[in-house]
Structure 1
Amino acid sequence: MMNYKALALLSTILYAAFPGDAAQAETLRYAIGFPPGGSVTDGLHEFNDRLKAETDLELKIYELSLLDLKETPPGVRDGLADAGYIITPYYAAEYSETNLPANMSMLATVGTPAKSSGAVMAGVMTEYVMLHCDECQQQYKAQNQIFLGAIGTPEYVQLCTTPIRSIEDLKGKKMRSSVDAMGRWAENFGATKVSIPANDIYEAMSQGVVDCTMFSAPELGNFQLFDVTKYITLGLPGGSFAGVGAMNVNLDTWQSLSKEQRSEMLRLAPFNAAAITVNYHRAAEQDIEKARQNGTEIIERPEAMAKATEEFVRDDAAVIKASFQNDYGLENVDEKYDLIAGLIEKWKGLTEDSHNDKDAMTELLWTEVFSKMDAATYGMN
């Protein structure tokens, strides 16, 4: 079977043979609730550069202008944008099947260590939704969308206005969380979970509405949080934010594309997921160092908190299963949980040597997932 790099080279050569076709490039409106200049938007522009160079498609990327993060899912559904960056936990019931594996991301940072929890979860989410979860596909269809891959952030840390050095320091703290399991982690140690949209975190921290936000380090730059973050505690709660459709396309738009265009989107989509995920991984170290230079205190995770977190993740499995079964009506939750847990271990191994290499991650996502999709049928029924 032709590998990804050979396929990409052949496509580029064939497209270059007909340069006049570039004038007829079809533009898709892509909405994302991030400001310009960050791990995500930079990755999207890298993807768009390849899309324009190798196909007759291109994106017009609206960065925090057309729709914010919470508006994007219904905006893509209703055709206000042709595609977008979809945060599934904002709509817990509508995307409950996808949110199950997203809520299991803390497994990526316990047990066998992962080189990049984000790379692991990008692979897990993409494979699970596209190859193993018909119910996920039906929920996206109900939202008039087609799913073209996930990303994973670096492990979640504590971005705080007061220091977190021990379990005792968590007690009474107001902590913003976007993942239910991480919210329960905070509550387990005596903190209070606060749910607010990502675009509102700066104001919430600056006004004392929250003491900490559980976020990946690159969000310091993505959401301009350097000024309000005085302390960062590493390794807590761990896990990754993976409830993301990095390239969800409006279903009507998808079905209006030619088979060749859909094939090209499937071919290039793994690069989009890889570029954003690797950008995130690289930015984590850079932004922590920048925060340090700006006077933010960087606190290493105490060993006692690491052990307590491992115990919490083990015990929380039953809570996750019961929640998704009772609150959202998911069926066969035990089997799904075990399948996803197995995928997490699988992708820990697969990404060990490719987690920081965009081409290697792209090849991996292509081989394991996207090469198995048929442009003639995917999203067409």
Structure 2
Amino acid sequence: MTHTTKFTSKIAGLGLAAMLCATGLSAQTLKYAIGFPPGGAATDGVAQFNEKLSAEGDVSLKVFELSLLNLKETPPGVRDGLADAGYIITAYYPAEFSETNLPVEMSMLATVGTPTASSGAVMAGVVSEYVMLHCPDCQTQFKRENQVFLGAIGTSEYVNLCTTPIRSVEDLKGKKMRSALSAMGRWAESFGATKVSLPANDIYEAMSQGVVDCTMISAPELGNLQLFDVTKYITLNVPGGSFSGVGALNVNLDVWRDMSPENRARLISMASFNSAATTVNYSDAAFSDIEKAKGMGIEVIEAPQALRDATEAFVKQDIEVIKSNFTNDYGLKNVDEKVETIIALIEKWKGLTNDVYDDKDALAKVYHDEIFAKVSADNYNMD
């Protein structure tokens, strides 16, 4: 080989090394914590999202399923950088995320009034749009917790998983009932039950030891949290609503600002599928898990019409209680206006999701077009 050829080869090698270095610098794998075990609606949704996310572009997730942080540990864990991103349940921290918890508390409106095919699809759209496009106060609170919010999910309709049956209004009296939302706790108390607050990871033990008689939760948690083993009765149609107090892809703010614009744009663009995949998984799993429960000898009870009518009346009057509580307990400003915005969004998303609630790609497109496409990677949480 001549001297000139050696020199040319060296320059070419350096150029290739520089290209590889640049590619390595743009590629990024985020540590993602989710406090559910593998094989559930949420963890499967994240896996499906990550497969699409990493198929193109330079950002992906390394998912830690119930191994890095549990559900209650994840919000401070993402804040402090123990995880780069995570599945954040805002209801566990009512003061820190009070602005986002306002629409979450109103989810029972999704199953009264105008019928809807999926309260989860509705509420995922409502919370995502409200936080990302209409609620600067929500964004302020997430920044204070050193996080960036990239969309919610909505569980299937909330039911009662119990160790003793609920067949009538009278059966609620004296029941100890686990609730993740204050509104659902008040619903139980309005019929003479006692509200019990517990993290989701503690429900199995509480039901097995008789600490609670029922848990108000979505049916797929039968599998997600292994509650098949401790549930003897399921009462459908009450309390209704959906749990949407989830930052499905909350990213540590420092990590977010250090990412390349291209990687931020990729996360924003794909986040709509993340919301849709888990939401549809919950809807599908609700049906399959209830059928599985029947096969295991768990009795499935349809709530009587009297209880459903009483529930609708409760939900409508509870709006004033929600307004008062968020004003007086958490110091929210302009609550009347915020509630009106949320009510309008619930009606809007009932219409937008009715025909696409069970199709992940179609639902993701609606979320993308109505919400995520309106967010800029150059500006979102960059100030």
> TM exceeds 0.5?
yes
CA displacement 1:75-128 (0-9 Å, x = unmatched)? 000000000000001000000000000000000000011100000000000000
Q: CA RMSD in A?
A: 1.2
Deviation at 1:21, TM superposition (A): 4.9
Deviation at 1:301, TM superposition (A): 1.2
Partner of 1:293: 295
CA displacement 1:158-211 (0-9 Å, x = unmatched)? 000000000100000000000000000000000000001100000000000000
CA displacement 1:215-259 (0-9 Å, x = unmatched)? 000000000000100000001100000110000000000001011
Deviation at 1:25, TM superposition (A): 3.3
User: 2:32 touches 2:64 (CA, 8 Å); kept in 1?
Assistant: yes
Partner of 2:114: 112
- Among 198, 201, 211, the alignment partner of 2:200 is 198
Partner of 2:177: 175
Partner of 1:70: 72
Partner of 2:251: 249
Amino acid at match of 2:303: R
d(CA) in 1 for partners of 2:120, 2:299: 24
- Among 308, 323, 326, the alignment partner of 2:325 is 323
Amino acid at match of 2:75: P
Give the length in aligned residue pairs. Answer: 363
Structure with max Cα Rg:
2
TM-score by length of 2: 0.93
d(CA) in 2 for partners of 1:156, 1:297: 17
Unaligned runs of 5+ in 2: 1-19
Amino acid at match of 1:217: A
Percent pairwise identity: 69
Partner of 1:275: 277
Mapping 1:39-118, distance limit 5 Å: 39-118=41-120
- Among 335, 359, 362, the alignment partner of 2:361 is 359
d(CA) in 2 for partners of 1:48, 1:373: 21
Amino acid at match of 2:55: A
Deviation at 1:307, TM superposition (A): 0.5
Partner of 1:346: 348
Partner of 1:9: none
d(CA) in 2 for partners of 1:67, 1:376: 30
Partner of 1:239: 241
Aligned residue for 1:315, secondary structure, equals helix
Deviation at 1:57, TM superposition (A): 1.1
CA displacement 1:311-334 (0-9 Å, x = unmatched)? 100110110000000000000101
Deviation at 1:31, TM superposition (A): 0.4
Aligned residue for 2:151, secondary structure, equals coil
d(CA) in 2 for partners of 1:41, 1:354: 22
CA 22–354 in structure 1, closer or farther in 2 if over 3 Å, else same:
farther
Deviation at 1:23, TM superposition (A): 10
Partner of 1:139: 141
Q: Greater CA deviation, 47-56 or 274-283?
A: 47-56
Deviation at 1:67, TM superposition (A): 0.4
TM-score by length of 1: 0.94
Unaligned runs of 5+ in 1: 1-17
Deviation at 1:371, TM superposition (A): 0.5
1:25 aligns to 2:27 (yes or no): yes
1:37 aligns to 2:39 (yes or no): yes
Deviation at 1:380, TM superposition (A): 0.3
1:217 aligns to 2:222 (yes or no): no
User: 2:74 touches 2:87 (CA, 8 Å); kept in 1?
Assistant: yes
d(CA) in 1 for partners of 2:31, 2:316: 42
- Among 126, 130, 133, the alignment partner of 2:128 is 126
d(CA) in 1 for partners of 2:56, 2:98: 35
The structure 1 segments of at least 4 consecutive aligned residues displaced by more than 6 Å after TM superposition are none
d(CA) in 1 for partners of 2:31, 2:113: 42
CA displacement 1:262-314 (0-9 Å, x = unmatched)? 00111100000000000000000000000000000000010000100011001
d(CA) in 2 for partners of 1:53, 1:370: 20
d(CA) in 2 for partners of 1:83, 1:93: 21
1:368 aligns to 2:340 (yes or no): no
